[in-house]
Amino acid sequence: MELLAFGKTGWGDELFIATLMTVAVSLTAMIIGFLFALIFTPLKLSKNKFLNLIGNFYTTVIRGVPELLVIYLFFFGGSGAIMFVASMFGYNEYIEINAFLTGSFAIGIISGAYSTEVFRGAIQSIDKGQFEASKVLGLKKPVHFFKVIMPQMLRLAIPNLSNVWQITLKDTSLISVTGLVEIMRQSYIAAGSTRDPLFFYSSAALLYLLLTFLSMKLINKLEVKYSRGF
Amino acid sequence: MDFDLMITSLPKLLSATLVTLKLLSLSLFFGLFIGLLFAILRLNKNPIINKFAYGYSYVFRGTPLLVQIFIIYFGLGQVEYLRSSILWTVLKEPYWCAIIAFALNTGAYTSEILRSAFQTIKPGFIEAGRSLGISNRIIFYKIQIPIAIKQSLPAYGNEIILMLKGTSLASTVTLMDLTGVAKYIISTTFKPIEVFIVAGSIYLFMTFIIHNLIKYLEKKYSY
């Protein structure tokens, strides 16, 4: 137990900060994922065949390729791509990009593919009459989307988004390979220096369980809030 | 775009694909048994057995696969008792550690899939069997299991694809599977995009095959 003490003698405070890092990366990734979903859901629902193809390409490729491979692509390719762009503006120094941003972006793209599928499914299962009714009433497009479609879509999407959140949270453990100090990386460091991997990886497992448990409680509350009136 | 690299790395990546497929098939094989066992335990009326099976699936579904592999590969070696037992011949191999972790992980998801499949079987089917005087054992094997398999095929197909992607984590415990070799080529050539396209296409091709195989089976078992 003294291994978990706070301060210089134990790893308690380090693990606590690492847990906050995991939450921060997961939230950032989830938000980046929503931004991707915002772009790709309309593409997937579009009647234009070409736009449709782009949307399907994104969700199929990302969901069919291992997360770790996507992370390696960003980890090794990220700084190269940025340096290439910078060199076009005449900047030729080495640029090292932030592990937090690369990691969140890589996980965000993955999470976005799952969110896109969820939003597409939710919009498709809204009753057609709702679209027709707001058209008949002559609602402007933003009003139609934000006041009619969005509330109904969220109600249908929240249970599935909670799955996406769980996947995203667990995927962040993979960013440890890039050196970002989140739960997994911190446990790896602690396990290495104390030679007690069993203890620290089990603590990591417990921390993840705690995070999934707490977030489920929170999401259940949201679910109740958005299904008012049904 | 370095097409030469893409062509020269293809044979290396394809031979690594064999490792990935071996890992996948062995994990699915053991995982199916674990899943079936725990699904049956979940349906047991004894609250202790029931809770135990629920706890197993909760823990394995609530933690990342990476943690599970690390606990089994790095953690279990620490236990003196295990090191001196016969189990150590298996646990010292990263290959078997990965398979144990994958099988336990997919077993947890499979048990949930099978449990819900068993629960959605209409009671009428079982009652019909009983009223015909068929024994419980035969009802289980000849009525419940075939219906459960059919019900769970779509979800199990997703699970196979998730597991295919999961096997990439074997590369974190020194195994040279498709992702492991891809990472090795990327880190020696610094051409991530080319390698990603080739390795990614191989993964996508496998997902495509699995997807269609499941579709075919669904058709075959539909009634």
* pLDDT value of position B185: 94
Question: CB count, 10 Å around CB of B128?
Answer: 13
Using a CB-CB distance cutoff of 8 angstroms, which residues of chain A are in contact with residue B193?
73, 77
Interchain CB contact of A173 with B (< 8 Å): yes
Nearest CA in chain B to A183: B67
Question: Which pLDDT score is estimated for A229?
Answer: 67
Residue whose tokens read 């099978």: B114
Instruction: Report the pLDDT value the prediction gives residue B218, as an integer from 0 to 100.
Output: 87
Query: According to the model, what pLDDT value does residue A211 have?
Result: 96
Any idea which residue has 């890589």 for tokens? A106
A62, A73, A114: which to substitute to probe chain B, counting the most B Cβ within 10 Å?
A: A73
The Cα-based distances of B66 to A170, A175, A185, A214, B124 in angstroms read: 9, 11, 11, 21, 43
Beta-carbon contacts of residue B194 (< 8 Å; ≥ 6 apart): B1, B2, B3, B5, B6, B9
Which of B165, B190, B192 lies nearest to residue A67, judging by beta carbons? B165
The residue type found at A121 is G
How many Cβ atoms sit within 10 Å of the Cβ of residue B126? 17
d(CA A207, CA A199): 12
- Chain A residues inside the 8 Å CB shell of B16: none
Nearest to A227 by CA among A158, A155, A179, A171: A155
A65, A69, A205 ranked by CB distance to B63: nearest: A205
CB contact under 8 A, A204 and B67: yes
Superfamily of domain A15-226: MetI-like (1.10.3720.10)
Amino acid letter, residue B83: R
The shortest C-alpha distance from B179 to chain A (Å) reads 6
Q: Which segments of A89-98 does DSSP mark as H helices, in order? A: none
Complex-level ipTM: 0.87
Q: Which two tokens stand for residue B24?
A: 């996948």
Helices (H) and strands (E) in chain B, counts: 11, 0
What pLDDT, on a 0 to 100 scale, did the predictor assign at position B82? 80
User: What pLDDT sits at residue B69?
Assistant: 95
Number of domains in chain B: 1
CB environment A92-121: b (16+ within 10 A), e (fewer): eeeeebebbbbbbbbbbbbbbbbbbbbbbe
Instruction: Note the pLDDT of residue B147.
Output: 86
pLDDT tens-digit profile, chain A (230 residues): 667 777 767 788 889 999 999 999 999 999 999 999 999 999 999 999 999 999 999 999 999 999 999 999 988 887 777 777 777 787 777 777 788 988 999 999 999 999 999 999 999 988 889 888 988 998 888 888 888 888 888 888 988 999 999 999 999 999 998 889 999 999 999 998 888 899 999 999 999 999 999 999 999 888 888 777 66
> Which chain B residues are closer than 8 Å to A184 by Cβ?
64, 66-67, 70
pLDDT of residue A99: 85
HEC secondary structure over A29-82: HHHHHHHHHHHHHHHHHCCCHHHHHHHHHHHHHHHHCCHHHHHHHHHHHHHHHH
pLDDT of residue A75: 86
Tens digit of pLDDT at every position of chain B (223 positions): 788 889 999 999 999 999 999 999 999 999 999 999 999 999 888 999 999 999 999 999 999 999 999 999 999 888 878 888 888 888 888 999 999 999 999 999 999 999 999 888 888 988 999 999 999 899 988 888 888 888 899 899 999 999 999 999 999 998 999 999 999 999 898 888 999 999 999 999 999 999 999 999 988 877 6
Identify the domain containing residue B85 by its residue range: 3-221
Q: In terms of residues, how long is chain A?
A: 230
Q: What is the pLDDT of residue A227?
A: 77
pTM of the model as a whole: 0.89
Cβ <8 Å between B168 and A170: no
- Of the residues A19, A22, A67, A76, the best mutation for testing chain B's interface (the one with the most B CB atoms within 10 Å of its CB) is A76
Query: Which positions in chain A touch B186 (Cβ < 8 Å)?
Result: 72, 76
- d(C-alpha A115, C-alpha A121), whole Å: 10
Domain boundaries, chain A: 15-226
Torsion region of B133: left, alpha or beta (phi above 0 gives left; psi -120 to 50 gives alpha): left
Provide, as residue numbers in chain A, all residues whose Cβ is less than 8 Å from the Cβ of B66.
173-174, 176, 184
CB of A80 within 8 Å of a chain B CB? The answer is: yes
What's the CATH number where B159 sits? 1.10.3720.10
Chain B residues whose beta carbon lies within 8 Å of the beta carbon of residue A66: 164-168, 179, 203
